[in-house]
């Protein structure tokens, strides 16, 4: 396998559905929350690898608007985990020059989590080496509904609305669409992740459970991406 430096094409924006923490925990005879903790550690390692590979945009799906339907204990555990890991995340971001970006609704999260997320955004806003999107309390359909509401509230005339304008009202305003979406854990669906932005993304599914997703698995995904032919609805060159 070629190293990413030798690949002819690397994605600019990779987005990841980090699935399989629960099954990883079960396989190891551990509580689900330990799986999420291991998953958070994996997320840190994965960020470091993408920084090393000079991929400028990485977006991680950490908590969806549907994850509220999980048992309260698990939801609270995920919130606590975010709180606990965000400070480490900010230190890593400052060390590596990463700007942290939030995708999702702050509304509905506890004031403590809201403050922690706002602090992360503020402290890292001038970093330019990578933009790390944290999708937390995020839903793709919800994002489109929110964008529509804001377009209407702003009084944008119907004839002025096109795809570029809608894009400016999404959580990803100013961020290019993902070139590659990776889902670990074996399920083959997008689960309300980047519904608008995924229109022409290449999708890579792997059965590897998120806590086991490592540099070797990243290299595999990037190699497969580099072999895909992207046509964006057009024809392949003769
Ligand atoms: C899906 O695995 C994973 C999640 C719903 C949470 C993702 C969170 C992390 C990777 C930890 C990093 C996040 C924070 C909050 C710092 P699953 O529970 O659906 O696994 P399963 O399908 O095997 O049950």
Question: Mean pLDDT of residues grouped by 10 in the chain (238 residues)?
Answer: 82 98 98 98 98 98 97 96 95 97 96 96 98 98 98 97 98 98 98 98 98 98 95 79
pLDDT at 122: 98
- In a domain, residue 71? The reply is yes
DSSP secondary structure code for residue 6 in this structure: G
- The domain in which residue 198 lies consists of 9-225
pLDDT for 238:
64
Q: Does some domain include residue 29?
A: yes
Residue closest to 175 by CA, chosen among 66, 74, 76, 57: 57
> Relative to the CA of 39, which ligand 1 atom is closest?
10
In a domain, residue 1? The reply is no
- C-alpha 18 – ligand 1 centre gap (Å): 6
Q: How far apart are CA 227 and CA 8, in angstroms?
A: 9
Instruction: Quick: pLDDT tens for 108-140.
Output: 999 999 999 999 999 999 999 999 999 999 999
Residue 32 resides in a domain: yes
Mutation test residue for ligand 1: of 15, 16, 17, 19, the one with most atoms within 8 Å of CB: 19
Residue owning the nearest CA to atom 22 of ligand 1? 20
The closest residue, in CA terms, to atom 11 on ligand 1 is: 40
Please tell me the pTM assigned to this model: 0.96
CB 104 within 8 Å of CB 170: no
Angle, helices 72-96 vs 111-124, to 10°: value is: 20
Tell me the catalytic residues. Answer: 19, 67
pLDDT at 36: 98
Residue 233 covered by a domain: no
CATH code where residue 35 lies: 3.40.1180.10
Ligand 1 atom with least separation from CA of 61: 7
Measuring from each residue's beta carbon to the nearest atom of ligand 1, which residues come in under 6 Å? Answer: 18-23, 36, 39-40, 43, 62, 67, 78, 81-82, 85, 185, 210
What local confidence, expressed as pLDDT, does residue 74 receive? Answer: 97
Q: Is residue 53 part of a domain?
A: yes
Provide the domain count of the chain: 1
Does residue 197 form part of some domain? yes
């Amino acid at each position: 396998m070629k190293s990413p430096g030798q690949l002819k094409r690397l994605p600019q924006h990779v987005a990841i559905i980090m699935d399989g923490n629960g099954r990883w925990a079960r396989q190891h005879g551990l509580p689900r929350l330990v799986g999420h903790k291991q998953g958070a550690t994996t997320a840190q390692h994965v960020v470091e690898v993408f920084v090393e590979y000079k991929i400028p945009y990485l977006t991680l799906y950490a908590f969806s608007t549907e994850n509220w339907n999980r048992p309260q204990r698990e939801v609270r555990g995920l919130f606590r985990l975010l709180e606990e890991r965000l400070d480490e995340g900010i230190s890593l971001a400052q060390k590596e020059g990463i700007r942290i970006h939030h995708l999702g609704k702050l509304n509905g999260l506890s004031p403590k989590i809201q403050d922690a997320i706002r602090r992360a955004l503020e402290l890292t806003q001038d970093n330019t080496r990578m933009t790390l999107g944290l999708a937390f309390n995020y839903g793709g359909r919800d994002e489109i509904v929110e964008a529509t509401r804001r377009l209407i509230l702003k009084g944008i005339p119907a004839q002025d609305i096109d795809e570029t304008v809608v894009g400016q009202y999404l959580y990803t305003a100013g961020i290019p669409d993902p070139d590659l979406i990776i889902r670990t854990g074996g399920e083959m669906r997008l689960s309300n992740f980047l519904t608008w932005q995924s229109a022409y993304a290449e999708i890579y599914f792997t059965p590897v459970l998120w806590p086991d997703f490592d540099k070797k698995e990243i290299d595999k995904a990037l190699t497969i991406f580099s072999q895909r032919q992207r046509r964006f609805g057009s024809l392949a060159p003769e």
